[in-house]
Structure formats: structure tokens, C-alpha cells
């Protein structure tokens, strides 16, 4: 079953993994300029993910970030904090979370089903909008095609104090179930925005879900935005933000054959 799911996810064939640009830390204000709407999302006392401002009061991240990986319990909204543009000990803006919605088809459990990547998306409403001139929300766009070049801005466990950018990594496979990217990610990068940059304008086209291995090389799995984001907007507008927390641990264990071999997120 897992083998079939992996083949379904990546398609029957995919291009060879390519050489990418290096991951670069944005240490100074000039280096971080234009990317301050990406920030750290603190999940109570247990860790963090990466998140992105897409409207003055809305941020995107991965759905699994909302759950405690040990207990499977949903983190209460009042324990989530968004630190926009966090860099070297301070943020451009600090906000709490008023409400959060995970995609209704996302189930946090221990089953290793790759198809869940397609639903690993969450939308969070901030307790106050961010209306700073240097922090414009990013627009969104359709998923990139196989072979496209994208960029990623993220935090991770060994670079938690400074955002890093990879300005050129490749889309190995692009389907409605998800994307396989050659982008360099690690723990803490979950929820990081994947950008398509056209004529100097960056738009979010996907959100990082997990890391994996393909053909012996590290890759990233990401959620295409269009359809699941529309569902999340509708959920938030309806006011129904209740989601039961399932017990278990986030999937990503094992894998066989030539498909991606999942690592812990």
C-alpha cells in the first residue's frame, strides 16, 4: 500500500535531482528586507515552525505544527505566537493567535500515508492585524510545474535565530497531491513558504510539509495551495474552528523501493 501511494504521489517518472543554490542566512536588515512577513510560529513551550503572513491578519503554516508530536493533542490557540521577521533576538511584530483551522481532511495520526501531504495546511487568524509598511503580506499563486525553480525562506533547529533563504531549488514532481522539491529544509522548517518569483514579485505557491529521501538524496515535500487554501478560508469564515485531536505521532516513518523514504518532520 505504501509503495503504491508513493508511486501515485511522485508519478511514474520524474526528472533527475539538480544542483541548487546554497542556503543563505539573512543576518542583516538589508538581507532580510522584503522577507519580514515570514516568521517563527512558537507552539507553546514545545518548539516552533515557520509561518507566513498572507493577509494583515492571516498566516499560513503546516497543519501538523498545531499538534503535539508526543500526545497528538491540539495546541490551544492562546498558546501560539507569531514572531514576524524574527532575526537575532527580536521580531518586526509580535502577535497572538485568535483562531486557527487545520484542513478538515488532515488527520494527525501515525499512519504513513503520503496523500496526507496534500492536506497538511493550516490558516491562523492573528489577534491583531499587522499593518506595518515594511511588512506587506505575500500574495499566493497556483502550484509550479515540474522542473520549475522556486525559493524557500525558513527557520530550522540549527538556525532558529535567523531566517535563511534558498533562492533556487527545483520542483522534482508536481501533482495535486503535493510537490517534491530539492530545497534544503530541516526540523523547524515545517510551514515554510515556497515562493515563485516572477518579474521580481514573490508569491507563495506551496508550504513545506516534511523532509524525505528520494534516490538517496534529501528532498522536501510540500502542499500545493490553491484548493486547500480555499477550503481553509471557507472554514475560517464559517466560524467553525473545532477539530478533534487524534492520538499518535506524525507520519513519516520508513518507505521502500525507489520512492521517498520519510524522515521525522
CA distance 192 to 196: 13
pLDDT of residue 68: 86
Tell me the whole-structure pTM to 2 decimals: 0.85
What is the SS3 string spanning 106-170? CCCCCCCCHHHHHHCCEEEEECCCCCCCCCCCCEECCCCCCCCEEEEEECCCCCCCCCEEEEEEE
- pLDDT category at 31 given cuts 50, 70, 90 is very high
Tens of pLDDT, residues 167-207: 999 999 999 889 999 999 998 999 999 999 999 999 999 99
In this predicted structure, the answer to whether residue 245 has a pLDDT above a threshold of 50 is no
In this predicted structure, the answer to whether residue 17 has a pLDDT above a threshold of 90 is no
In this predicted structure, the answer to whether residue 254 has a pLDDT above a threshold of 80 is no
In this predicted structure, the answer to whether residue 12 has a pLDDT above a threshold of 80 is no
| Residue bearing the bigger pLDDT, 261 or 159 | 159
pLDDT cut 70: percent of the chain above it? 81
Residue given cell 494583515 in the structure block: 56
Instruction: Give me the mean pLDDT over the 217-227 stretch.
Output: 92
CA distance 170 to 18: 7
Residue given cell 535563511 in the structure block: 164
Least confident of 19-23, 56-60, 75-79: 19-23
Domains and CATH numbers, the chain: 2-240+251-262 (2.40.10.120)
In this predicted structure, the answer to whether residue 242 has a pLDDT above a threshold of 60 is no
pLDDT of residue 249: 27
pLDDT of residue 259: 42
pLDDT of residue 234: 95
Instruction: Give me the mean pLDDT over the 121-137 stretch.
Output: 97
CB contact set of 131 (below 8 Å; sequence gap of 6+): 56
- pLDDT category at 29 given cuts 50, 70, 90 is very high
How high is the mean pLDDT of the chain?
84
- pLDDT category at 11 given cuts 50, 70, 90 is very low
Instruction: Give me the mean pLDDT over the 120-132 stretch.
Output: 97
CB contact set of 129 (below 8 Å; sequence gap of 6+): 55, 56, 57
Instruction: Give me the mean pLDDT over the 14-26 stretch.
Output: 74
Amino acid at each position: 500500500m505504501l509503495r503504491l501511494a508513493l508511486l501515485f504521489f511522485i508519478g511514474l517518472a520524474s526528472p533527475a535531482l539538480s544542483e541548487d543554490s546554497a542556503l543563505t542566512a539573512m543576518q542583516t536588515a538589508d538581507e532580510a528586507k522584503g522577507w519580514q512577513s515570514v516568521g517563527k510560529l512558537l507552539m507553546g513551550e514545545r518548539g516552533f515552525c515557520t509561518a507566513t503572513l498572507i493577509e494583515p491578519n492571516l498566516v499560513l503554516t503546516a497543519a501538523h505544527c498545531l499538534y503535539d508530536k508526543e500526545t497528538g493533542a491540539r495546541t490551544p490557540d492562546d498558546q501560539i505566537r507569531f514572531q514576524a521577521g524574527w532575526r537575532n533576538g527580536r521580531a518586526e511584530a509580535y502577535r497572538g493567535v485568535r483562531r486557527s483551522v487545520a484542513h478538515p481532511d488532515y488527520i494527525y495520526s501515525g499512519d504513513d500515508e503520503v496523500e496526507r501531504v496534500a492536506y497538511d495546511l493550516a490558516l491562523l487568524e492573528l489577534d491583531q492585524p499587522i499593518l506595518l509598511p515594511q511588512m506587506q503580506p505575500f500574495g499566493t499563486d497556483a502550484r509550479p510545474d515540474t522542473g520549475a525553480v522556486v525559493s524557500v525562506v525558513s527557520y530550522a533547529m540549527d538556525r532558529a535565530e535567523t531566517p535563511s533563504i534558498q533562492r533556487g531549488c527545483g520542483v522534482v514532481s508536481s501533482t495535486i497531491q503535493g510537490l517534491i522539491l530539492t530545497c534544503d529544509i530541516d526540523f523547524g522548517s515545517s510551514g515554510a513558504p515556497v515562493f515563485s518569483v516572477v518579474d521580481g514579485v514573490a508569491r507563495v505557491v506551496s508550504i513545506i510539509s516534511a523532509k524525505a529521501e528520494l534516490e538517496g538524496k534529501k528532498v522536501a515535500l510540500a502542499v500545493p495551495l490553491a484548493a486547500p487554501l480555499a477550503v481553509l478560508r471557507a472554514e475560517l469564515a464559517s466560524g467553525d474552528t473545532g477539530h478533534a485531536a487524534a492520538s499518535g505521532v506524525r507520519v513519516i516513518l520508513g518507505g521502500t523501493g525507489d520512492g521517498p523514504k520519510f524522515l521525522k518532520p
